[in-house]
Amino acid sequence: MKAHTRETQATMTPEKSLQYLKEGNVRFQNNLKANRNLLEQVNDTSDGQFPFATILSCIDSRVSAELVFDQGLGDIFSVRIAGNFVNEDILGSMEFACKLAGTKLIVVLGHTSCGAIKGACDDAKLGNLTRMLSKIKPAVKAVSEPADESKRTSANLDFVDAVSAKNIELTIARIHEESPVLSDMEKNGQIMIVGAMYDINTGEVKFIE
């Protein structure tokens, strides 16, 4: 499989880009990697890059977007931060990726048993981590069940995953609210912004469309 060129990127639509990622995840789950010569892709991309998707994911070592979607060099922009939330810098990076570099799809990728989500659920405090986790707290508060405070902790994995899903939803809402550039591109059909959840037990990505 060759690296994307300006010409192949131009043929990509938001829908086609999403389908590429879905097919890549199926290959990953079945341990069937696409045939790529990565050193060849290094040479092919030395003069430029033409990715088709931008993926915001967690720093979790088990959730490498390139691996779980079976993509090669030059295929995707990968933005990683614990808890996969957005801030001004990340929004700027996404605007560059879509408006200037031509990607057609943004995926906000959360995952099950997320450590950052667990920390927010438990109100963990440690240096700069305290301020970082405050960005995820709105998702914790937005999940109403269970009402019993003793069950709203990292020990309750169903609650943790519910907060993860809500965090994806709120992150997409923030992209729409805080980036008129991306919001307008989506309204005009130039890009799609979707959420997805990676299951660390199975390797499956479930898209929230």
Q: Which residue ranges make up the annotated binding site?
A: 58, 60, 111, 114
Amino acid at 145: E
Count of CB atoms situated within 10 Å of the CB of 193: 22
Residues annotated in a binding site for Zn(2+): 58, 60, 111, 114
Angle between helices 180-187 and 157-178 (to 10 degrees): 90
Collapsing DSSP to helix, strand or coil, 56 comes out as strand
Instruction: Evaluate the CA torsion angle 129, 84, 42, 203 in order and state its sign.
Output: positive
For residues 201 and 170, give the distance between their C-alpha atoms in angstroms, rounded to a whole number.
24
